[in-house]
């Protein structure tokens, strides 16, 4: 589910198309809880295994049609980039599994919380890993978000591990993608990340089929079966939409659009799935939203001070 910042070409051409693509991509990601509910009773490991394998198949078909295998071959010739994509694959695998587990457990609002705090985690990782300088207003946002997590943990009597794992895994994924930089386009990156994960996914399916209660695909009606078989398309389409948006929009516009995803997740959890939201959770979420407002204001002001809008983030994977 949001994006990790990395270098990319400046925004260019038809911003209206970019806005439409960004909203479509983030909107589809926001509706993922409903999609994963359609796949029940398939467990998270089956769903993610099919998502990996079918994404790889889909990417291979698209690369063949678009004659894009040369880009993949160029990346493979760089061992460092290839290993970084393997690490990215591990991180997105963790993110995918925990996300589907959250849906299965009826914790969609926890997943939304994870993606709400992800921008704060990215700032924090910039400080701890990249030694970036943080402006005072960003420290305020980090502090408010930290208080929010504490309030939710104390009020619920447990650490919101789903939110924290999702935020950390996707934040680290964004960091790795920043290391890779503009050398890897969205399609080639997803192809190689899923290629690294394919053996794990195959073993995973074998275990689910033998000792994990059996594979659900094909045993629970056509809707469930078609849903699982579309996992590759469902994974890749919003990613490619986002790649198109990122080429046309500024970082500010992308940064604002990314909140469509957790907002939709939150609304699905509260309004459709009727997840419990005691007062302390409302207070915690309110604090998180304050932190995001602070970060957004800082992002806009920083862009204005530079006198130009910074380039958009490169695409990452949901």
Calpha distance 268→275 (Å, rounded): 9
Instruction: Give the integer Cα–Cα distance in Å for 98 and 102.
Output: 6
The pLDDT, as a whole number, for residue 15 is 65
pLDDT beneath 70, residues of the chain: 1-15, 212, 251-252, 306-318
Please confirm whether the linkage preceding 41 is cis (ω < 30° from 0). Answer: yes
Closest among 269, 22, 297, 8 to 144, alpha carbons compared: 297
pLDDT value at residue 76: 93
Tokens of 16: 């209206």
Residue 256 in tokens: 């604002």
- Rounded-to-integer distance, Cα 162 and Cα 101, Å: 9
The secondary structure of residue 310, as a DSSP letter, is: P
Tell how far CA 133 is from the center of its chain.
25
Domain map (residue ranges) of the chain: 15-306
Under a CB-based contact definition with an 8 Å cutoff, are residues 82 and 191 in contact? no
pLDDT on residue 97: 94
Contact between residue 172 and residue 91 where contact means Cβ atoms under 8 Å apart: yes
Give the DSSP letter of residue 7.
Answer: -
Q: What is the pLDDT of residue 314?
A: 42
Query: What local confidence, expressed as pLDDT, does residue 56 receive?
Result: 95
Q: What pLDDT is attached to residue 133?
A: 80
Half-sphere exposure of 291 (CA within 13 A, CB side): 27
Q: What is the pLDDT of residues 112-164, one digit of tens each?
A: 999 999 888 888 888 788 777 878 888 888 899 889 999 999 888 888 999 99
How many Å from the N-terminal Cα to the C-terminal Cα in the chain? 4
Q: Each residue of 148-206: pLDDT tens digit?
A: 999 999 888 888 999 999 999 988 988 888 788 777 888 898 999 999 999 999 999 99
The structure tokens listed for 156 are 């619920």
Q: Cis (ω within 30 of 0) for the bond into 238?
A: no
pLDDT at 228: 92
């Amino acid at each position: 589910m949001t994006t990790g910042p990395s270098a990319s070409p400046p925004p260019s051409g038809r911003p209206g198309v970019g806005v439409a693509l960004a909203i479509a991509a983030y909107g589809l990601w926001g509706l993922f809880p409903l999609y994963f509910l359609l796949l029940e009773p398939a467990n998270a490991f089956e769903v993610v295994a099919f998502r990996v394998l079918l994404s790889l198949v889909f990417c291979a078909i698209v690369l063949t049609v678009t004659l894009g295998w040369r880009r993949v071959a160029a990346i493979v010739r760089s061992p460092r980039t290839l290993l970084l994509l393997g690490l990215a694959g591990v991180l997105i695998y963790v993110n995918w599994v925990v996300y589907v587990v959250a849906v299965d457990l009826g914790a969609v609002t926890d997943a939304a919380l994870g993606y709400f705090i992800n921008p704060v985690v990215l700032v924090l990782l910039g400080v701890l890993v990249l030694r970036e300088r943080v402006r005072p207003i960003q420290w305020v946002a980090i502090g408010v978000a930290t208080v929010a997590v504490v309030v939710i943990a104390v009020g619920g009597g447990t650490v919101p591990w789903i939110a924290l794992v999702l935020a950390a895994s996707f934040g680290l994924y964004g960091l790795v993608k920043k290391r890779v930089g503009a050398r890897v386009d969205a399609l080639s990156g997803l192809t190689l990340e899923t290629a690294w994960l394919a053996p794990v996914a195959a073993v995973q399916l074998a275990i689910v089929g033998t000792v994990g209660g059996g594979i659900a695909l094909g045993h629970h009606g056509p809707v469930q079966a078609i849903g699982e078989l579309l996992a590759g398309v469902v994974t890749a389409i919003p990613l490619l939409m986002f790649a198109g948006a990122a080429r046309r929009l500024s970082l500010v516009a992308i940064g604002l659009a990314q909140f469509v995803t957790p907002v939709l997740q939150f609304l699905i959890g509260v309004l459709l799935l009727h997840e419990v939201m005691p007062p302390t959770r409302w207070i915690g979420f309110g604090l998180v939203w304050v932190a995001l407002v602070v970060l957004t204001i800082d992002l806009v002001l920083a862009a204005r001070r530079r006198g130009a809008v910074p380039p958009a983030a490169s695409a990452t994977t949901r």
